[in-house]
Every structure is written in C-alpha cells, then in structure tokens.
C-alpha cells in the first residue's frame, strides 16, 4: 500500500475483507496497532512489545464488527508507544506526517489512524482515547473524531493503558460517516437522537486556548448556539482545570503503571526518554495521591452532573492551538503538552463523550471545536455534529 504519511505499520500485513453487504459496505478503514487482529502480533508502537508477544488469538470485537458491517480493514497504524503520548511522535518508527499541516506533528497517540484518514488513504480509522488520543489528532489533522462515553464500548482485544479512562474512538472526514460508524459500534440510531436544547460555552476551557484559536472557534460556537436555541457561558467546574489535570495525571499515570509495570520490570524495554519519564511519573504516584485523585474525580462527576443533563452540550476548544512544529526539544513539547491535556482531561475525568468538529483554521492549520455531552449522550453529539457541519 502506498503510504506517503508513514501512517501504517510495516511489521504486519493484517487485512480483513469486509462483508459483502452492510451499512459500511465498500468502505476501507485502518486500526491503530493496539487492536488485535487474529494471527498477527499487536505491536503497540514499541518494538520490544512486538518482539515479546505472540500473534493474537482473535480479532478485537470492535474491528470485527466493522468488518461484519462491510468495511475492509486495510492495515494497522502507528501509535505513540503503548499509547503514551499526545503528539504522535514515535522514536522507533518515526512520526507520521500530518497531511493537513506539513512539518507539524499529527497528534497522538492515534497518530497513524489520523494521518491515514486525513491523507485519504482510508475512509475511516479506529483509535483509542485515554487522555486525548483521538481528540487531539482529530483537531490537529482536521478530522471528525469521537471519544465515546467511557464504558460504552468494551475494550476486549485492545492493549489497555489506564482502564478507568480507556475508550475506543474513531476518525472520519465527514460527520455522516462518523455517525454511521457509531451506529455500528454503539448500536445507536443517530437519526433518532434528541436535539440538545442548551449550549454551555465553557469559559474556563476557552481561557486555556490561545487567543487566535479561541477567536477562530467563536463564530462556530455562536452558530451552534443559534441552532440549539439557548446559550449559556459558564465554567465547567468551581475547581481550576489545572487541578483537574493534576489529579487526572496521577490517576491515569498510576493506572498505566499498573497495566505495564510488571512487563516493564521484566523486560527493561527501550522507550523514548519521554515515554520512560511518563511511566516513571505514574510509578511514583503514592496511595494517598491516587486516593485523592479518586475522590476528586467523584466530586467533579457529581458537580458537573448537576448541570449537564442530556439536553445540554458543552462547547470547548479541542486543543488550545493547532499542531505544533515537529521535532522540537522535549522541554518545549512538554510545556505545550500541559495545556493540551488540561483540555482533554475534562471528558476523561467525567467519563463523558466528546466529538471534535474540524471547523476552524489558524494560519491555515486545522484546529477543532469540541462538543462534550453527558455520559451516554453519544448519539446526541453525533447528531448535532451532523447538523452543524
């Protein structure tokens, strides 16, 4: 397969022919290399993981359901190592090219899936989103992308990271296809989804975006507000989003070490320095910090549930800026990472669904507007995304 964007893994020729009929008949897709395909090793973006694991016994249900619905899986795509990363830079396999922002990172960790869809190598692609790994590349690559409600889709056959945050998500170039995939995977009927009646503009989230990005998104927020009817500006939380991030990082990092720590200890794998740093931060989280993060998360869920019902959607910037320039020093990328994951940690903390709409550009670089709904309101978001676009 031609792959001008370094989107696809070359360690596997996994391919699954779509069923001859079904709602996705004739479409092609790619799956992030965290998804199992029977008979192939799932590489997880790390060569030592690849070398130390055998072929998968069965195909992940999410992949199989898409194939059964008629879509053909044409390959597996690059990911940040073991899904640890937000910019899509992989020290082992190279960083996929951002087809919509040359010289910029694609976003990650579902970097190859985003590049493959943005570059029109496939019609859609599966990713995963633990801390922003579908939403960020969707924003940076100008794609529709969804992180569904946590727990809505089982993660069987997918390399986990932090189970209480892990979700399966997907990318498409059109909101109609994004919704059709949702219908297949989530068993919903988007055409029958209720229309929200209230739009909340999250001013604490918008305050994190760079002014140019906030300004580029603003007209779309107003347009959606008019469609929905009622617009209200408020903060997501009485707590600073920086505090949300602090607890989410502790929670996710500790869970990720729980997932991978024993394997790492046994195998002393090669990671990029930043990925090792990430793991070690998670390893260092003590019981008290972990428990505090649990308590904080429960409190935020209760706080937000009080005003975020099924009739409400929240508008927020998906990322605070468009894709950064690739290849910058770690210290620079680390400082850019903080505001990015401050925004994405909102849905992660809440277990809420979030859809990126690729509506805006800043200096000709894509940057997305997000709609976030109450947990379970995936269909509401997918329906509104179609109506807006």
Which positions are annotated as active-site residues? 32, 109, 133
Q: Which of 280, 298, 305, 325 binds a copy of itself (CB under 8 A)?
A: 280
Residue 90 or 149: the one with the smaller Cβ distance to a copy of itself is 90
User: Measured from the CB of residue 278, what is the shortest distance to a copy of itself in angstroms?
Assistant: 10
- CB within 8 A of 200, min separation 6: which ones? 231, 232, 233, 234, 307, 308, 312, 313, 314, 315
User: Segment contacting a copy of itself (CB under 8 A): 69-77, 207-215, 260-268, 288-296?
Assistant: 260-268
Asked if 338 touches a copy of itself (CB under 8 A), the answer is no
Asked if 270 touches a copy of itself (CB under 8 A), the answer is yes
Give me the half-sphere count of Cα atoms (radius 13 Å) on the Cβ side of residue 264.
19
Size of the residue set binding a copy of itself (CB under 8 A)? 21
User: Measured from the CB of residue 283, what is the shortest distance to a copy of itself in angstroms?
Assistant: 9
Closest to 307 measured CA to CA, from 233, 207, 240: 233
Backbone angles phi, psi at 201, to 5 degrees: -95, 115
Q: Which of residues 24-53 bind a copy of itself (CB under 8 A)?
A: 48
How far is Cα 91 from Cα 80, in angstroms, rounded to an integer?
Answer: 9
Asked if 93 touches a copy of itself (CB under 8 A), the answer is no
Asked if 109 touches a copy of itself (CB under 8 A), the answer is no
Q: Which of 8, 49, 140, 271 binds a copy of itself (CB under 8 A)?
A: 271
| CA end-to-end span of the chain | 31
How far is Cα 318 from Cα 313, in angstroms, rounded to an integer?
Answer: 14
The CA–CA distances, whole Å, from 18 to 98, 181, 218, 352 equal 27, 14, 41, 31
User: Segment contacting a copy of itself (CB under 8 A): 145-153, 169-177, 268-276, 305-313?
Assistant: 268-276
Residue 238 or 268: the one with the smaller Cβ distance to a copy of itself is 268
Q: Which of 49, 165, 257, 279 binds a copy of itself (CB under 8 A)?
A: 279
**How many other β-carbons are positioned within 10 Å of the β-carbon of residue 229?**
11
Q: Which of 192, 238, 288, 329 binds a copy of itself (CB under 8 A)?
A: 329
- CB within 8 A of 272, min separation 6: which ones? 81, 89, 90, 91, 92
Can you give the binding site for a copy of itself, defined by CB under 8 A? Answer: 48, 89, 91-92, 264-266, 268-274, 276-277, 279-280, 329-331
């Amino acid at each position: 397969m031609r792959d001008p964007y370094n989107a696809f893994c070359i360690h596997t020729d996994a391919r699954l022919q779509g069923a001859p009929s079904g709602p996705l008949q004739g479409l092609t897709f790619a799956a992030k290399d965290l998804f199992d395909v029977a008979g192939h090793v799932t590489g997880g973006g790390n060569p030592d993981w690849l070398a130390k694991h055998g072929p998968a016994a069965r195909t992940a249900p999410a992949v199989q359901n898409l194939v059964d619905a008629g879509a053909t899986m044409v390959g597996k795509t690059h990911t940040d190592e073991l899904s640890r990363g937000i910019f899509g830079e992989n020290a082992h396999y190279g960083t996929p090219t951002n087809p919509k922002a040359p010289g910029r990172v694609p976003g990650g960790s579902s970097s190859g899936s985003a590049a493959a869809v943005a570059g029109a190598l496939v019609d859609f692609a599966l990713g995963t989103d633990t801390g922003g790994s579908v939403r960020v590349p969707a924003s940076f690559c100008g794609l529709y992308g969804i992180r569904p409600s946590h727990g809505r889709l089982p993660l069987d056959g997918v390399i986990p990271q932090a189970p209480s945050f892990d979700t399966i998500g997907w990318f498409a170039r059109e909101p109609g296809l994004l919704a059709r995939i949702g219908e297949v995977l989530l068993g919903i009927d988007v055409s029958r989804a209720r229309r929200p009646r209230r739009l909340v503009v999250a001013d604490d989230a918008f305050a994190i975006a760079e002014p140019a990005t906030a300004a580029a998104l603003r007209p779309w927020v107003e347009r959606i507000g008019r469609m929905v009817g009622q617009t209200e500006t408020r903060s997501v939380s009485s707590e600073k989003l920086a505090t949300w991030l602090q607890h989410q990082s502790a929670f996710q990092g500790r869970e990720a070490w729980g997932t991978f720590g024993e394997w790492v200890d046994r195998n002393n794998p090669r990671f990029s320095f930043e990925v090792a740093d990430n793991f070690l931060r998670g390893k260092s989280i003590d019981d008290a910090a972990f428990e505090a993060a649990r308590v904080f998360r429960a409190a935020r869920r209760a706080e937000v549930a009080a005003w975020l019902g099924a009739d409400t959607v929240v508008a927020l910037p998906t990322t605070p800026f468009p894709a950064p320039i690739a290849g910058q020093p770690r210290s620079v990328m680390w400082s850019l990472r903080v505001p990015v994951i401050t925004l994405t940690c909102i849905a992660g903390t809440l277990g809420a669904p979030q859809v990126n709409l690729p509506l805006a550009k800043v200096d000709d670089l894509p940057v997305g507007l997000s709609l976030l709904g109450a947990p379970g309101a995936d269909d509401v978001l997918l329906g509104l995304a179609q109506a807006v676009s």
